[in-house]
Structure 1
């Protein structure tokens, strides 16, 4: 059983503006000649229900590597604040929104350094990026292996011919075990999701093998704060409200798709290369993927967001949209209500007309066609016993596409 220890806040080394390198970073000056722990996952025939396999315990990746090494970095004082001291509660009501008071993140988080009205922007090496991170913040490399089972190596040289994927701590954490998955860090990719990196994130969800370890992605314009390709992930043993919401299956023409993937839309939940900001939640060990197109920043720029909501300074990114509200002020935390969460997420949601446009973009890009007469077929997430045991299906006042 893992234990959480309280530690004093110590500023991480790489947060200071040091001149030159000389400090064992993730840049091309240091990483190619480094040795780092390596987790090599099975890349052949990924089975969502069968993490790790082989000689490693089924909980090795999550408990020993991710959470165990995260705690070790916490004990070394590498975080900006002690997130385990942050107060958390379930907001009373039928939906089970989760509220957290995180004043440290508000006071010490790095400001956004790019335009918020463009989803696609070029990588800027002069702005903060993950090549400037010190290797003490890296937990391990995460690479596709060549074996039919997952393997772990405590120290492995970085192959000069490979662009390494790394898992590092988030020094401004939202929750216990908050880490970053940084695909091909030396390639210096902008925050623009691609098939290869998305598949990598799915592999990480599978290896974790827990419905309570989720991965998230924020596009530019949807409250990503660093324009260097990355996913976030953390562990929270509470079902997210979005995971409990009713969905309507979208009937796809079988001739247009031979995939076994089911696509649904959320019903009555307060959210729904076309410059559409979006967030992604990878849930249920990779079995469910939520795509949230959103428009909060656009409404904010147009002065269309209620002033009371603006005063909370909450930016609804993937975690907030999923139902985990990270609040920055004691007043807002004490007064947190289901009505507040509802109003905030309603501002995120696209109009029905715009949501239908986005759905058409997605289906068109995948070569799928929706039946014109799409009967209502309501579904809930009952496949996973851990979530289903404490889940009551709910309806919310948005649009979202759900792949499962």
Structure 2
């Protein structure tokens, strides 16, 4: 199996920008916030979320990404201005984060496939990322013969000319919301493989910032495009899932620790440790492969710059299809993808945002998640599979 080289620590200089754009790059946007109690660390929620005027100690990768994303924003490439959207942290045990983006679901591209199958073939006639506008490409990268990665500024003549690309998400839910498309010209369907997952891990590591997370949604777990992609964005607050208590289950692979979430409304696993990032990546990607081959929808959050990962399990699309979803939650039009299951929920109606409470959002996440009996059965299967796949010590 080929090894994907880590992303470089230095990037090629971006093309010179107009003076107005360069001035914008010197300060990062602020969310417009409503006071909503205290974060778990005791700071006011507005301070938890607001980016500093100049973020110190950014990695070269993240510094470049912020600059390029800001330039796309200045050129009006997004469907809405996320920096003016209201965001608040709700009081309560979990401190859920709520963002109001009115009508976002009506501006997004419609889902063009069924939600009942996690693995589906790629169809070139449906929307895929080779069809995006060239100006939506922030940069691209690839392996080289000397096992180092290279960045190329700007967009290629055609998107499909690039092995892997980072694109803007034109319907962002957070600052610097981007899409990572591994081997874009291969037109891979939305399914995890070891190499692509490791690439996403390298991106998280290269950011060197705990507030820049990478996420993955399987088909059936609210991925909306069947072309292999990961998402990432920056939000300067601790996600509820990241501070949820865990209970250790076992150690597999080369020292990778697996725990389960406890006292959190979504069922799932936390992975950390291992002798290397590659060890951790392999265990989690193998768990994802097992789930998708057994038609079980899932979401993954890559947290703490790739040091900790959450594998979250859900069945909300199935409940929607079978008529078992609560009408109250259907009316809220929340799609529980990785960010929502992690505790950052995007609301589309002013009423839902103004009346948002920890109890309501917790109830929604419980409905989206597996029952305790379903989780225990699936947990047993996942752990048995990973134990059998673990190399002998």
Give distance in 1, aligned partners of 2:231 and 2:169.
Answer: 8
CA contact (8 A) 1:5 1:75 kept: no
Q: Tell me what 2:28 maps to.
A: 3
Could you tell me how far apart the structure 2 residues matched to 1:298 and 1:322 are?
20
Structure 1 residue matching 2:232: 3-state secondary structure: strand
Structure 1 residues 234-313: aligned runs within 5 Å = 234-252=233-251, 257-272=252-267, 273-313=293-333
Matches of 1:98 and 1:172 in 2, distance apart?
18
3-state SS, counterpart of residue 367 of structure 1? helix
Structure 1 CA distance, aligned partners of 2:154 and 2:139?
9
TM-score by length of 2: 0.75
Tell me, yes or no, if structure 1 residue 88 matches structure 2 residue 87: yes
1:185 Cα offset (Å)? 0.6
| 8 Å CA contact retained: 1:116, 1:297 | yes
Residue 185 (structure 1) aligns with: 184
Contact conserved, 2:141 with 2:152, CA < 8 A, in 1? no
Structure 1 residues 2-401: aligned runs within 5 Å? 2-4=27-29, 59-63=59-63, 65-144=64-143, 152=151, 154=153, 164-252=163-251, 257-272=252-267, 273-368=293-388
Cα distance 1:145–1:208, how it changes in 2: closer, same or farther (>3 A)?
A: farther
Deviations 1:210-255 (A, max 9, x none): 0000011111111111010000000000000000000011124xxx
Q: Distance in 2 between matches of 1:325 and 1:156?
A: 32
2:256 partner SS: coil
- Classify the secondary structure of the residue corresponding to 2:138: strand
Change (3 A) 1:125 1:245: same
CA contact (8 A) 1:129 1:227 kept: yes
Larger relative contact order (Cα-Cα within 8 Å, sequence gap ≥ 6):
1
- CA distance in 2: counterparts of 1:132 and 1:333, whole angstroms: 34
| Contact 1:90–1:98 under 8 Å retained in 2 | yes
Question: Structure 1 regions of 5+ residues with no counterpart?
Answer: 7-56, 371-404
Q: Where does structure 2 lack aligned partners over 5 or more consecutive residues?
A: 1-25, 32-56, 268-292
* Residues 52-71 of structure 1: CA deviation (Å, up to 9, x unaligned): xxxxx8621112x2111001
SS at match of 2:192: coil
Distance 1:301 1:2, change over 3 A: same
**Residues matched between the structures, number:** 315
Q: Measure how far apart 1:120 and its partner are.
A: 0.8
Contact 1:178–1:233 (Cα < 8 Å) also in 2: yes
Partners in 2 of 1:176 and 1:81 — Cα distance?
Answer: 12
After superposition, the Cα gap between the structure-2 partners of 1:131 and 1:157, relative to the gap in structure 1 and judged at 3 Å, is: closer
Deviation, 1:107, is: 2.5
CA distance in 2, matches of 1:205, 1:337: 31
What is the distance in 2 between the residues matched to 1:207 and 1:179? 15
Aligned-partner SS, 2:250 = coil
Q: Hey, what's the Cα distance between the residues in 2 that align with 1:356 and 1:127?
A: 37
Shift in Å, 1:151: 6.0
Aligned CA distance change for structure 1 residues 136 and 156 (closer, same or farther; 3 Å): closer
Q: 3-state DSSP class of the match of 1:262? A: strand
Cα deviation, 1:7-27, whole Å, max 9, x if unaligned, reads xxxxxxxxxxxxxxxxxxxxx
Alpha-carbon distance in structure 2 between the residues aligned to 1:186 and 1:150: 17
Distance 1:247 1:165, change over 3 A: same
- Tell me the distance in 2 between the aligned counterparts of 1:167 and 1:251: 35
Q: Is the 8 A contact 1:270 1:348 kept in 2?
A: no
Q: Could you list the per-position Cα deviations for residues 78-115 of structure 1 after superposition, in whole angstroms to 9, with x for gaps in the alignment? A: 11111111111111223210000011422211111100
TM superposition shift of 1:366? 2.5
Q: Which moved more, 1:149-158 or 1:230-239?
A: 149-158
- Secondary structure at 2:99 match in 1: strand
